[in-house]
Structure 1
Amino acid sequence: MCSHGTHDQCCAVRGRPVAAVLAERYEHVLECSHVGGDRFGGNLLALPTGTYLGRLDADTAPAVVAAHLAGRDDPAHLRGVTTQDQRVQAAVTATLAAYGASAAYRLHGEIVGHPAPDRWHVSVTGHPAVAQVRVEVRRIVLSPAPRACRAEIDKVAVTYETALLDS
């Protein structure tokens, strides 16, 4: 659980209470230094799956982590999987939102098309409810804004919009 207050105080303010609640329930909860994605705090890196979960607080974290351990990642809290490309992560999240929670790290995505400079078609397989999902992923550059609690400089960020093409 990220609780690195030196990099961004939000990580400590949001992360430490989550770490405390999870440590009451699970033996292997550690507070760690910065894992990135300040704007998604509280942030958790679940090992060994490499799944990033975010937007956690002391109330939501126990259920989100229990669901992850049961193989049901909630797309509202899923930030991605370390082994997946960002475009694939977005497509996997869209697949989970459309077809129900599943283990994100078990889904496989492959970029199968690139119809425009900031658009990709991604094929996602491995979801128990559907054999294959094709997702269009569009890269969006967000306007400069504070991206951390103590941000003194506005920064540009990237996000991805998705649309299911077919299944």
Structure 2
Amino acid sequence: MKDATAKITRTTTVYGRTYKISAAATGSEDVDLEVLMLNGSDEEIGRLMGRIPRPSLHSVGQALSALAGITSGARAPGSGNKRIDQLRKTYPNAYQPWTDGDDQQLAKLYGDGASIKDLSTAFGRQTGAIIARLTVLGQIEAAVPPRKPPSQPSPTAAVPDRPAPASDGIDPPF
């Protein structure tokens, strides 16, 4: 990351591994990116470096976020629910809470024309979760109107103790 005019570094620790992420603006329209992976003893166990055109930075960030979701989902302790654990093999963020950052990114990408399927892949969530969240965010209208509260049954409504006869006049055999 030589000749950088501005540099930002962030550090985060996930499941005992520390990630130091640095981005440096160069004199050109490129950004130098470096991701350093450290184990619990602060020994370097991996490094990713490259120069990215500034317009591509958002897409690269999404790809890294999706990859982080896939790998952390594989290492994360189980949810305690077999169905959710099985879903998370395909959708690493299934039933995880949405963050404000997720909401902003989802609304932006949808507004930019991303498909529901692409958003599902990028966010590691089922298509139904994407549609539901876009509805909550006011980006799309609900496909089904909200249910009305059930009305109280009238006290005079009779509850049959056996099914009504079939329209052909033949009663069921029970």
Normalised to the residue count of structure 2, the TM-score between the two structures is 0.23
Instruction: Kindly name which structure, 1 or 2, has the bigger radius of gyration based on alpha carbons.
Output: 2
Q: Which has the higher contact order (CA 8 A, sep 6+)?
A: 1
Which structure is higher in strand share?
1
Normalised to the residue count of structure 1, the TM-score between the two structures is 0.23
